[in-house]
Amino acid sequence: MNIAIVGAQWGDEGKGKIVDLLTPHFSIVARYQGGHNAGHTVFTEGRRIVLHLLPSGILHPEVDCVVGNGVVVDPQALFAEIEMLRSHGIEVGNRLLISEKAHLILPYHRELELLAEARRGEHRIGTTSRGIGPAYEDKVGRRGVRVCDLYDPDGLAEGVRENVEARNRLIADAGLDWRAVYDALLAAGERMRPWVGDVTLFLTRAFSVGRSALFEGAQGTLLDIDHGTYPFVTSSSASVGGVCTGLGLGPRAVHGVLGIAKAYTTRVGEGPLPTEVHGAEADRLRETGQEFGASTGRPRRCGWYDAVAVRYAARVNGLDALAVTKLDVLDGLPQVPLCTGYRCGGDVIADFPADLRQLAACKPVLDTMPGWSAPTRGARRYGDLPQEARDYIERLEEISGVPVSIISTGSDRDDTIVREDSVAARWLARFPIPPYSAPRT
C-alpha cells in the first residue's frame, strides 16, 4: 500500500522529517515533481542533511528511491547531491532509479529564469533560481530534452543546437556554444546511465510483489501550478494529482494522503500570504522556527495558521490526515492566533479564492487560543502536551476539517507524536517494516 505526503501550505512544512520518519515502513520512496528547488531537511544521527533532488528515503540504506518523469533533473545538481551523501558515508549505489522520461534542466535555464525575473521587476515571483520554470516551459513547449535523449547522440545534437540557438536569439550577448552544452550532456548521460530506467514498470512490478511506496511531494498545494496562488507558484503539480502524472501510475496506486502543515504558516518568495505578520511577531516566529530557506537561505515570511488555506488543500488533495509540525515554535506565546475565514467586504468567506485581486482585498478573521507556558518541545506522547497545546491541535482539526495524526515537537526524528488510533497510526500498523529483498528489474 502506498501513501502520498503533500505540503498543505506554501512549502517548507517539514515534509522531509515526516518522510524520514515514515520511510522504515516502506521499501520505496518516490519524488514525482519539482526539482532541486526543494530543500528537505532531515536530522539524523546528529547530522543535518538537506536533500534537494533525491528522495529523503535515500538516507535509509534498505530503501529504493525513484525520481519520476514529473521531476526536472539538473545532472550537475544530481552529482553534487550524490557526492554530498558520499561525504556523509551514504552510498546511493543501485538504490536509485531516474525516469528516462524526466526532463533535464540545461545550463542556460537558470540564466533564462534570472532574465525573466528581472523583466518582471516588481511583479517578480521570487523563484529559487534553479532553472525550474524554464525547464518546465521547454517541456510544455515540446522542445525539452529528456533523460532518454542523452543516449541518442544525433537526436541530442539536433535538439541541443536548436535550443541553444533559440536561447542565443533571446539573450543578445549570450553567445553560448551548443557543442559545449552537448558534450557536457553526453558526459552526464554516461555518468547517469546506471540509474536510468522505466519508473512506471519498476513501480508496478514492485507493487505486484507486495512492496509499498511513499510518494514524496515537494513544495506545497498553494504553490501548485494549477491549484496554487497563480502566478506566484512553482511550475509543477505539487498536489497529489502530480503522483499519477509524475510517476505514470493510476489513481488507485495512492491509498492514503497525508498533508503536512506547520502549526503556523510561512512562505518564501512573492505572492499572497493572508495571515502574514511583520515586525517583532514575525521576527519571533522566524528566529524560533529558524525560518530561512533550506535551498536559498532566504528569510521566510511568517504568519499564523490559516485554516482556509489548509481546508482548501484538504479538498484539492483528499487529505486523510494531517501532520502538524513545529508546534514547539509556539511554546511560550501568551496567545496563539489562528485564521478561520477571510473577510472580504461585508462577507466572511470560508473558501480560498482563485482570483488574487479578491484575495488581496481579504483580511483574515483571527480567532485567539490561549498559549501554553510549559514546553511542548521534545514531547513524544499526546498526553504529555500541555492542555492548551492539545486544545490548539483539536481546534486546528475542527477548523481544518482533517484529523491530526502526527505532531512534530522538534527537529529530531524522535521528537514526534503519532497519536494512538489515528489514521497514520493505523497505516503504520498495517505496513510492517518490510524485510524486502526481491531483485530489481
Handedness of CA 64, 195, 203, 243 (dihedral sign): positive
- Count interface residues toward ligand IMP (CB under 6 A): 19
**Per annotation, catalytic residue among 25, 36, 40, 103:** 40
Report residue 72: phi and psi, to 5°: -105, 130
Tell me whether residue 71 or residue 399 sits nearer to ligand IMP (CB atom): 71
The interface mask with ligand IMP, positions 252-281, x = CB under 6 A, is ----------------xx------------
Residue 139, SS3 per DSSP: helix
Tell me whether residue 324 or residue 385 sits nearer to ligand IMP (CB atom): 324
Angle formed at CA 149 by CA 57 and CA 233, multiple of 5 degrees: 55
Q: Phi-psi region for residue 115, left (φ > 0), alpha (ψ -120 to 50) or beta?
A: alpha
Residue number closest to ligand IMP, CB atom: 269
Tell me whether residue 58 or residue 253 sits nearer to ligand IMP (CB atom): 58
Stretch that binds ligand IMP, among 65-73, 120-128, 157-165, 358-366 (CB under 6 A): 120-128
Query: How far is residue 305's CA from residue 261's CA, in Å, rounded to a whole number?
Result: 9
Tell me whether residue 38 or residue 58 sits nearer to ligand IMP (CB atom): 38
Radius of gyration for the alpha carbons in the chain, expressed in angstroms and rounded: 22
C-alpha cell at 85: 551523501
Among 84, 100, 124, 126, binds ligand IMP (CB under 6 A): 126
Q: Does 221 bind ligand IMP (CB under 6 A)?
A: no
Q: Tally DSSP H helices, then E strands, for the chain.
A: 13, 20
Residue 168 burial by Cβ neighbours in a 10 Å radius (0-12, 13-18, 19+): middle
Angle between helices 178-192 and 107-120 in degrees, nearest 10: 120
Tell me whether residue 37 or residue 340 sits nearer to ligand IMP (CB atom): 37
Query: How far is residue 91's CA from residue 61's CA, in Å, rounded to a whole number?
Result: 8
Among 234, 275, 340, 400, binds ligand IMP (CB under 6 A): 234
Active site residue 12: yes
Tell me whether residue 132 or residue 333 sits nearer to ligand IMP (CB atom): 132
Query: How far is residue 68's CA from residue 247's CA, in Å, rounded to a whole number?
Result: 5
Write out the E strands in 18-92.
Answer: 28-31, 40-44, 47-51, 64-67, 72-73
Among 66, 147, 223, 302, binds ligand IMP (CB under 6 A): 223
Q: Rounded to the nearest whole angstrom, what is the least distance from the CB of residue 13 to ligand IMP in the complex?
A: 9
The interface mask with ligand IMP, positions 29-58, x = CB under 6 A, is --------xxx-------------------
Q: Rounded to the nearest whole angstrom, what is the least distance from the CB of residue 181 to ligand IMP in the complex?
A: 21
**Per annotation, catalytic residue among 12, 64, 328, 415:** 12
Stretch that binds ligand IMP, among 16-24, 121-129, 139-147, 354-362 (CB under 6 A): 121-129
* Beta strands at 72-73 and 213-216: parallel, antiparallel or unpaired: unpaired
Q: How far is CA 221 from the centre of its chain?
A: 9
Q: Rounded to the nearest whole angstrom, what is the least distance from the CB of residue 379 to ligand IMP in the complex?
A: 26
Of 275, 273, 243, residue with least CA distance to 258: 243
Q: Rounded to the nearest whole angstrom, what is the least distance from the CB of residue 198 to ligand IMP in the complex?
A: 27
Cβ–Cβ under 8 Å, residues 3 and 255: yes
Tell me whether residue 131 or residue 341 sits nearer to ligand IMP (CB atom): 131
Q: Rounded to the nearest whole angstrom, what is the least distance from the CB of residue 63 to ligand IMP in the complex?
A: 21
Q: Does 125 bind ligand IMP (CB under 6 A)?
A: yes
Tell me whether residue 219 or residue 405 sits nearer to ligand IMP (CB atom): 219
Q: Does 11 bind ligand IMP (CB under 6 A)?
A: yes
Query: How far is residue 141's CA from residue 23's CA, in Å, rounded to a whole number?
Result: 36
119 HSE (CA, 13 A, CB side)? 8
Q: Does 133 bind ligand IMP (CB under 6 A)?
A: yes
Q: Rounded to the nearest whole angstrom, what is the least distance from the CB of residue 151 to ligand IMP in the complex?
A: 28
Interface positions, 369-408, toward ligand IMP (CB under 6 A): none
Stretch that binds ligand IMP, among 104-112, 124-132, 341-349, 386-394 (CB under 6 A): 124-132
* Beta strands at 64-67 and 40-44: parallel, antiparallel or unpaired: unpaired
Cell 504529555 belongs to: 384
Cβ–Cβ under 8 Å, residues 327 and 84: no
Sequence letter at residue 155: G
Q: Does 6 bind ligand IMP (CB under 6 A)?
A: no
- Enumerate binding residues for ligand IMP (CB under 6 A): 11-12, 37-39, 125-128, 130, 132-133, 218-219, 223, 234-235, 268-269
**Which residues are known catalytic residues?**
12, 40
